[in-house]
Amino acid sequence: MIDLFIIKVGGNVIDNPALLQTFLEKFAAIPGKKILIHGGGKIATRIGDKLGIESKYIDGRRITDADTIDVVTMVYGGLVNKQLVAKLQANGCNAIGLTGADANIIPAVKRPVKEIDYGFVGDVYTEKLHIAPLQTLLEAGVTPVFAPLTHDGNGQILNTNADTIASSLAIALSAFYSVRLIYCFEKKGVLRDPNDDEAVINLINQEIYQQLLAEKVLSDGILPKLQNAFGAIGNGVKEVLIGHADDVLSNTTAKVAGTLIC
């Protein structure tokens, strides 16, 4: 039996007010222990533009320079995080907004400069995750809501991939709970045909995954999620599910609507 759901909601949902509202209503209705990790969406880019801070990307990844880390800290850890918490409270879910710096839960290391300098981007220091505070909150019936920010232990906030934060927390907490890790985004699951929203692959194991890779039918955007999923399962997480934000409530039951990774 699953006794903890760790749910990551993507930036495209954050950017869609109607989709986000439906998601939060359904998330709030999930019984038992749960944690929400949210992406940033495009709000930081819009606010950065208003402040005259240009957003820079390489291969679709944000370059987090000194000005940008200030913007994403304000937007992800402040505006987006607290709006989500307030809306969850309105739906009867007693939530608390957090970053990885709070209670030293998610230490990270600044990504080393190789071919590309990503700036103040953090890679989770998995060996030093401090999850006792999370257990205290969960056992008290409080739902943690994490912004995609960590810290380096020396006072520096780091921008960190929300999918990675979700899988890292799921792995660490799987020592104490039976965990289902759920990635929610704007598609119904992993699709055999990226142009057909109904072409959901309901089950993927390692054998099927290797076959799909060989056939080159998976979109580039879904590959990091699958890599995180198999990494989590290989490190103690019971189940990983990828599905539509609208299906989050049903995807916490035995009758799932998305793609189950095992």
Give pLDDT, residue 220: 81
Backbone angles phi, psi at 57, to 5 degrees: -130, 145
User: Has residue 174 got a pLDDT over 90?
Assistant: yes
Query: Rounded to an integer, what distance in angstroms lies between the CA atom of residue 22 and that of residue 54?
Result: 32
**Residue 111 annotated as lining a ligand binding site:** no
User: Has residue 60 got a pLDDT over 80?
Assistant: no
User: Has residue 35 got a pLDDT over 80?
Assistant: yes
What is the token pair recorded at 29?
């209705």
**Residue 61 annotated as lining a ligand binding site:** no
Average pLDDT of the chain to the nearest whole number: 93
Q: Which helix (H) or strand (E) holds 184?
A: strand 179-185
Under 8 Å CB-to-CB from 148, ≥6 apart: which residues? 37, 38, 39, 40, 76, 159, 160, 161, 162, 165
Give pLDDT, residue 207: 92
What is the token pair recorded at 48?
């950065």
Instruction: Judge contact between 249 and 26, C-beta under 8 A.
Output: yes
For 23-32, write each residue's pLDDT tens digit.
Answer: 999 999 999 9
User: By C-alpha distance, which of 133, 134, 108, 130 is closest to 121?
Assistant: 108
Instruction: Judge contact between 148 and 160, C-beta under 8 A.
Output: yes
For 129-162, write each residue's pLDDT tens digit.
Answer: 999 999 999 999 999 999 999 999 999 999 999 9
User: Has residue 59 got a pLDDT over 80?
Assistant: no
Phi-psi region at 3: left, alpha or beta (left = phi > 0; alpha = psi -120 to 50): alpha
The band of 78, judged by pLDDT with boundaries at 50, 70 and 90, is very high
For 94-119, write each residue's pLDDT tens digit.
Answer: 999 999 999 999 999 999 998 889 99
Give pLDDT, residue 126: 92
CATH of the domain at 231: 3.40.1160.10
Q: Report residue 113 CA to chain centroid gap.
A: 24
- DSSP calls for 26-91: HHHH--S-EEEEE--TTHHHHHHHHTT---EEETTEEEB-HHHHHHHHHIIIIIIHHHHHHHHHHT
For the chain, the domain total comes to 1
The band of 196, judged by pLDDT with boundaries at 50, 70 and 90, is confident
Q: What is the mean pLDDT of residues 53-63?
A: 83
Residue keyed to tokens 């899988």: 167
Query: Rounded to an integer, what distance in angstroms lies between the CA atom of residue 224 and that of residue 212?
Result: 14
Instruction: Report the share of the chain in percent with pLDDT over 90.
Output: 77
Q: Which residues form the domain of 121?
A: 4-261
Alpha-carbon Rg for the chain in angstroms = 18
The band of 221, judged by pLDDT with boundaries at 50, 70 and 90, is confident
Give pLDDT, residue 155: 97
pTM of the model: 0.93
**Residue 189 annotated as lining a ligand binding site:** no
Give pLDDT, residue 250: 93
**Residue 77 annotated as lining a ligand binding site:** no
User: Has residue 38 got a pLDDT over 80?
Assistant: yes
